[in-house]
Amino acid sequence: MKNVTVSMDDAVAEWARLEAARRNTSVSRLLGELLAEKMRHDDAYERALQDWLHRERSWASDGQPYPGRGIL
């Protein structure tokens, strides 16, 4: 585990202290958990995007015109 120094606005630091207290944890652990969740979310999004981009597409048209917007 690495130790890092983080700089933030006073209002953000106050929110972090209050949120950590509400969760009965330390600011350090709270920030670590928030960053880990962000990392998992971003990784999952990237995997889903790459999966979608590499799928075979079958959007070929048979040459027929698309239906119009006429009143039924």
18 in a structural domain:
yes
Residue 21 within any structural domain of the chain = yes
On whether residue 30 sits in a domain, the answer given is yes
40 occurs within a structural domain: yes
67 is a domain residue: no
Residue 72: pLDDT band (50, 70, 90) is low
Residue 14 lies in a domain: yes
Number of domains in the chain: 1
Could you tell me if residue 70 is inside a domain? no
Q: Tell me the residue range of the domain where 34 lies.
A: 10-53
Q: Give the whole-angstrom CA distance, residue 43 versus residue 25.
A: 26
Q: In whole angstroms, how far apart are CA 8 and each of 18, 19, 25, 32, 34?
A: 15, 15, 19, 15, 15
Mean pLDDT of the 51-55 span: 90
| Structural domain includes residue 5 | no
Between 36 and 56, the higher pLDDT residue: 36
